[in-house]
Structure 1
């Protein structure tokens, strides 16, 4: 089925005759073709658009910026290419854009920091290049930032430390280097001590640092009340497992392939198994 034909059919119906003009769910509908920007711009009342798991190709049309009420858009698992629109200034109400698992190239636009309502952004499994812009640190409502499996380079900007509501950050399988300023970063080339300010993120639930060259974590690292998943495997941790780690209420703990020594408190391990 042609996506352009579907969008034009929807756009041709006056809003007062549509049962739900604010939500369009066309996921897994075997839609093919490109996103008709002209037809899309006519959906002025649209709040939610789900086009995930189809066969859509081409680009993300700039006319997407003409949907001021848009809150959530899913375009994942398609064949969309080219770049992310560089100036989405009219989408101030956008909360969730999911562009994952496409062929999107170019950089992450710094102007995304204008999307002040963003709560979750998934750009993973694409061909994005360049650095992670420091401007993303201004997205004060952001809880999930998912960037794994791209071609991103440079260091993780310390500006992301300002994201106090951050629950999930994944940047695995990129080409990032240097000292770590954030959390889910396995499969890069980070080194040095795990930074202390991670302990300020009381909302953090998933922390994976596997496959880097990190040294022992700082004092206070194991006092994060919402942390449930901790993977520190394949690093350079030494000494014993600190007693402060027993403060954590973990569901998963992975410490393999380090240089740890000493005894393990089996009663604490049993408590985790019973949780």
Structure 2
């Protein structure tokens, strides 16, 4: 079925709303420099053959009304050099289900007019320089919204307090802003939430225990804020039972490590051999992403494997001994308890973590010898135990053939290790 004239006209009008810099530096692009897809958009040619355009007889025609693509449902302009404010014309595309403007150079505040797009399922404005306050209406303007990604901007003020009952949010990412205040209890209304990333802000609060009720939560990242106080879990079996990534690093949490939570991390106790990536349920091309410290490197995971399991409680003020219950988490790949005030011996039960690839216990007050059971960790690549009060040698019987990084500085009598 050939493209109709009014459809071509609508797309050509859309093309006129932006410009393409032919002299853009390759350093402006996070990926290999793209070519201008709209170069093939020309008059008197069939728009169904234009680059980036797909014609589908089932979804109906593109219509032209007042210089708007009024029937547009999916708009992805990510990884370009768009600058200035978000155009008001985009906020009039009332049929949009997906709006992705990430990784551009957009600035200024986000207009509350975005909340008039009440058909949105995905809103991703991440990796720009947007600032001001987040529009409070974003918390409850659409029960269709499953993805809200405003990370890596310059938003300030408090977190949205308007998350309503019936919310369909599955992915909420405000990482890397300048948000302050506390985590609002209304987030617990987002009963379908799978990922919550509030890392790298200025949130000043105690641990939000009300998040325990989010039975589908798989990833919780609160790192690099001003959280403080105890992290004392409950004995309820439902508490964080599906959690696979738990990152509270670089705060000032204190008291004992949350042994009750370790007992409830059921998803970290079993091996899931089905390698999948986490993404929006109705849009297979949209993958969730988070920022994590993996084996000592700060990286952004642009795709999250369901196989990845991690606990990072480093850089806090936790005291007491390492709970034996951590040894139950047999699918755990990354464990970082460094830079705390932990005492006692290294638990032999850590030898049960047969899937572990990185173990960091450095900069604590641990004593005694390194347990022989740690030699069972055959996949271990990174092992850091420096700056403690340990003694003796690393067991020569280690069966790990993957060990790349071994930090043991400050261990008494450790003189013959090779």
TM-score (norm: length of structure 2): 0.59
Q: 1:93 to 1:104 in 2, by over 3 A?
A: same
The answer on whether the counterparts of 2:376 and 2:400 sit within 8 Å (CA) in structure 1 is no
The whole-number CA distance in structure 2 between the counterparts of 1:104 and 1:14 is 29
| 1:150 matched residue in structure 2 | 225
Counterpart check, 1:258 vs 2:388: yes
| 1:75 matched residue in structure 2 | 150
| 1:231 matched residue in structure 2 | 360
CA offset at residue 193 of structure 1?
A: 0.9
Matched positions, count: 266
Counterpart check, 1:191 vs 2:319: yes
Q: How does 1:89-100 map to 2 (within 5 A)?
A: 89-90=164-165, 92-100=167-175
Equivalent of 1:222 in 339, 342, 351: 351
The answer on whether the counterparts of 1:156 and 1:180 sit within 8 Å (CA) in structure 2 is yes
The answer on whether the counterparts of 2:143 and 2:167 sit within 8 Å (CA) in structure 1 is yes
The whole-number CA distance in structure 1 between the counterparts of 2:187 and 2:358 is 29
Structure 1 residues not aligned, in runs of 5+? 16-20
| 2:268 matched residue in structure 1 | none
Structure number with greater CO (CA < 8 Å, separation at least 6) is: 1
More displaced stretch, 108-117 vs 76-85: 108-117
Q: How does 1:1-275 map to 2 (within 5 A)?
A: 1-4=83-86, 6=87, 8-15=88-95, 21-37=96-112, 39-64=113-138, 65-90=140-165, 92-159=167-234, 162-181=239-258, 183-215=311-343, 216-248=345-377, 249-268=379-398, 271-273=401-403
The whole-number CA distance in structure 1 between the counterparts of 2:248 and 2:162 is 23
The Cα offsets for residues 233-274 of structure 1, whole Å up to 9 and x where unpaired, read as 111222222122223232221111122223323352652338
The Cα offsets for residues 39-86 of structure 1, whole Å up to 9 and x where unpaired, read as 222222222222111111111212111121112222112110111122
Q: 1:186 to 1:273 in 2, by over 3 A?
A: closer
The whole-number CA distance in structure 2 between the counterparts of 1:91 and 1:202 is 35
The RMSD of aligned alpha carbons is 2.3
The answer on whether the counterparts of 1:206 and 1:230 sit within 8 Å (CA) in structure 2 is yes
The whole-number CA distance in structure 2 between the counterparts of 1:80 and 1:160 is 37
More displaced stretch, 119-128 vs 191-200: 191-200
The whole-number CA distance in structure 2 between the counterparts of 1:70 and 1:247 is 46
The whole-number CA distance in structure 1 between the counterparts of 2:245 and 2:235 is 12
Structure 2 residues not aligned, in runs of 5+? 1-82, 262-310, 405-418
SS at match of 1:111: helix
CA offset at residue 99 of structure 1?
A: 0.6
The Cα offsets for residues 169-207 of structure 1, whole Å up to 9 and x where unpaired, read as 222222221111164221111110122333344443321
The whole-number CA distance in structure 2 between the counterparts of 1:164 and 1:242 is 29
The answer on whether the counterparts of 1:208 and 1:232 sit within 8 Å (CA) in structure 2 is yes
SS at match of 1:137: helix
CA offset at residue 91 of structure 1?
A: 6.1
TM-score (norm: length of structure 1): 0.87
The whole-number CA distance in structure 2 between the counterparts of 1:87 and 1:54 is 24
Rg larger in 1 or in 2? 2
